[in-house]
């Protein structure tokens, strides 16, 4: 068969939530640009974005304790929590714009209101939680948060967790009702349906094998059609690599200087899912605990009400694990294959530094069902083994790089955009809070890769995302208006207290969002 050779404006690699978000933004900002998407699997949102492969928490730092740290003077640093909350507000605004513009429908198919709680045990942790509550509840983004160490009140909030609890150890929780459960798999599929309606060509079962620079500065992408066996070559002026854990090997193939001295550390995960509807009905919240000493931040235990396939589910986890694969559907040679002459020292330094983490991950892999049940019983004292099954979650590849603060081979937690100096190619690496902040991250891609167009695009961006370029912490009135408008558009509860809205202002924001 002869090789296919085609030109296009934009190529998106990977049909996950990041490509879906970038594609949707570009279709509003540059509607005449031709976009092609290549996905190795048969459907959109099958890897990291899939609803069974992530926690579905609309990460807004309402309950995740690792986003607030205690400083040496005993005060609580809430800067990261504020940053992540503001980033999630951007996602809410963009989704609301798409709903209000009739570009997507039925937001309840991907987002549901759910209280977010933090739950801790032990005197030291209770003292930390109280200080955290005091620091956050004075901030407009976290208004409405409640704190209690009263077992009677906690029984009201989390009956399943309190049932059968006999320990005299101090316990406490914070609760905020404006949290969400997001089905990122459903959202990804909805966005790709929308892109298809906008004439975006999405090629499933197409695996990208290589990426090379052409003489005119474009990028040539070599693609294997897994159905016909044919090799295709597609060139574009701009390429985005949004292939989850698979992004790093493709970024390395580009050969751009920015791709050097970067490695990846794969972490797998398991969730326990409740198969007893009576138990599922007793819990209605996302409840995050504190990570055990030595555990990585992505292993914070949490008991989550989820809405998957329009059905209420209950999941507990994640239990971390180790697999050398960079994708759930990847190869056992992924990790070895990612070690190159330019990153070998970085990778070796990380290996030496992270011996404790590696040991922890191996211990997690070897846990028996009963050992996992013991961890679950710290949350649900009366949990029965027969009520819980195991689900294998998605692979996460944490970025390893040399940093000024951490030195050689520092393991990074979070998401990172790596782009060429001329903005012609960008890749997304890393993990949580990932999907929740997809709109913020893709705006960062646009700023890095299309700086010369941002001025012309700014008015449209602000129409879609009214708080773009504005600090919501500093503009409390705007935050209340936006929160209320997005809650209305997305069918969420607007639980912020003491809101003083001018109906005109709210209408104005609703028209924008």
Q: Would you give the DSSP letter of residue 498? A: S
Q: Which residue has the tokens 């493709």?
A: 250
Give residue 431's pLDDT band: very low, low, confident or very high (50, 70, 90): confident
- pLDDT number for residue 292: 73
pLDDT at 507 exceeding the cut of 70? no
pLDDT at 85 exceeding the cut of 90? yes
Which long-range CB contacts under 8 A does 218-223 form with residues at least 24 apart?
Answer: 218/424, 219/11, 219/254, 219/424, 219/425, 221/11, 221/13, 221/38, 223/38
The mean pLDDT of 406-432, rounded to a whole number, is 88
- pLDDT number for residue 398: 85
Q: Which residue has the tokens 């620079």?
A: 213
Give the dihedral sign, CA 298/302/308/310. negative
pLDDT at 301 exceeding the cut of 80? yes
pLDDT at 510 exceeding the cut of 60? no
Bond before 318 cis per omega within 30 degrees? yes
Task: Calculate the average pLDDT of the chain.
Answer: 91
Q: Could you report the per-residue pLDDT of 307-319, keeping only the tens digit for each?
A: 998 899 999 988 8
Q: Could you report the per-residue pLDDT of 203-257, keeping only the tens digit for each?
A: 999 999 999 999 999 999 999 999 999 999 999 999 999 988 889 999 999 999 9
- The Cα 445–Cα 440 span in angstroms is 9
**Tokens coding 420:** 């060429």
End-to-end CA distance of the chain: 49
Q: What DSSP string runs through 399-431? A: EEEEETTTEEEEEP-SEEEEE-TTSSEEEEEE-
- pLDDT number for residue 499: 47
The mean pLDDT of 75-103, rounded to a whole number, is 96
Contact 316, 304 (CB under 8 A): yes
pLDDT at 14 exceeding the cut of 80? yes
Q: What DSSP string runs through 29-69? A: H-TTS-EEEEESSSSTT-STTSTTSS--B--SSSS-GGGSE
pLDDT at 490 exceeding the cut of 80? yes
* Of 502 and 489, the one with more pLDDT: 489
Percent of the chain's residues with pLDDT above 70: 94
The whole-model pTM stands at 0.92
- pLDDT number for residue 500: 43
**Tokens coding 392:** 């294998």
Contact 289, 120 (CB under 8 A): yes
- The Cα 309–Cα 289 span in angstroms is 26
Domains of the chain as residue ranges with CATH: 4-456 (3.50.50.60)
Residue 208 — φ and ψ, nearest 5°? -80, 125
- pLDDT number for residue 408: 87
Percent of the chain's residues with pLDDT above 90: 72
- The Cα 110–Cα 106 span in angstroms is 8
- Angle between helix 344-353 and 355-365 (nearest 10): 70
- pLDDT number for residue 294: 63
Give residue 363's pLDDT band: very low, low, confident or very high (50, 70, 90): confident
């Amino acid at each position: 068969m002869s090789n296919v050779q085609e030109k296009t404006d934009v190529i998106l690699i990977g049909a996950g939530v990041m490509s879906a978000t970038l594609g949707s933004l570009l279709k509003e900002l540059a509607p005449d640009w031709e976009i092609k998407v290549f996905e190795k699997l048969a459907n959109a949102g099958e890897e990291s974005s899939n609803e069974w492969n992530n926690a579905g928490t609309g990460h807004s730092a309402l309950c995740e304790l690792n986003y607030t740290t205690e400083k040496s003077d005993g005060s609580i640093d809430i800067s990261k929590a504020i940053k992540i909350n503001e980033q999630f507000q951007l996602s809410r605004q963009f989704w609301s714009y798409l709903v209000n513009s009739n570009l997507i429908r039925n937001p309840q198919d991907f987002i549901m209101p759910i209280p977010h709680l933090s739950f801790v045990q032990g005197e030291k942790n209770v003292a930390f939680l109280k200080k955290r509550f005091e620091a956050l509840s004075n901030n407009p983004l976290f208004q409405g948060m409640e704190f209690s160490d009263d077992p009677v009140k906690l029984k009201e909030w989390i009956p399943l967790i309190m049932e059968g609890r006999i320990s005299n150890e101090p316990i406490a929780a914070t609760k905020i009702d404006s949290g969400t459960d997001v089905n990122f798999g459903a959202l990804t599929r909805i966005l790709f349906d929308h892109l298809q309606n906008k004439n975006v060509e999405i090629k499933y079962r197409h695996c990208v094998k290589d990426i090379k620079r052409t003489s005119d500065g474009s990028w040539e992408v070599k693609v294997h059609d897994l159905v016909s066996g044919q090799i295709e070559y597609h060139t574009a002026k701009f390429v985005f690599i949004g292939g989850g854990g698979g992004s790093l090997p493709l970024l390395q193939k580009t050969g751009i200087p920015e791709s050097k001295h970067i490695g990846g550390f794969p972490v797998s995960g398991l969730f326990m899912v409740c198969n007893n509807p009576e138990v599922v009905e007793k819990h209605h919240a996302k409840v995050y605990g504190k990570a055990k000493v030595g555990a990585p931040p992505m292993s914070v235990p949490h008991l989550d009400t989820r809405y998957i396939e329009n059905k209420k589910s209950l999941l507990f986890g994640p239990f971390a694990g180790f697999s050398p694969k960079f994708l759930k559907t990847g190869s056992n040679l992924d990790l070895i294959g990612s070690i190159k002459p330019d990153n070998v020292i970085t990778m070796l330094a990380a290996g030496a530094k992270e011996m404790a983490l590696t040991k922890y991950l191996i211990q997690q892999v070897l846990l028996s069902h009963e050992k996992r049940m013991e961890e679950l019983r710290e949350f649900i004292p009366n949990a029965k083994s027969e009520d819980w099954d195991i689900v294998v979650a998605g692979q996460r590849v944490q970025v390893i790089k040399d940093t000024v603060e951490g030195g050689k081979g520092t393991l990074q937690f979070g998401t990172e955009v790596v782009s060429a100096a001329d903005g012609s190619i960008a890749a997304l690496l890393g993990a949580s809070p990932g999907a929740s902040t997809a709109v913020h991250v893709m705006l960062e891609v646009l700023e890095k890769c299309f700086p010369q167009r941002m001025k012309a695009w700014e008015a449209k961006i602000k129409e879609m995302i009214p708080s773009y370029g504005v600090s919501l912490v500093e503009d409390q009135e705007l935050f209340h208006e936006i929160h209320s408008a997005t809650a209305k558009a997305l069918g969420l509860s607007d639980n912020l207290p003491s809101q003083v809205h001018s109906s005109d202002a709210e209408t104005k924001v609703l028209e924008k969002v």
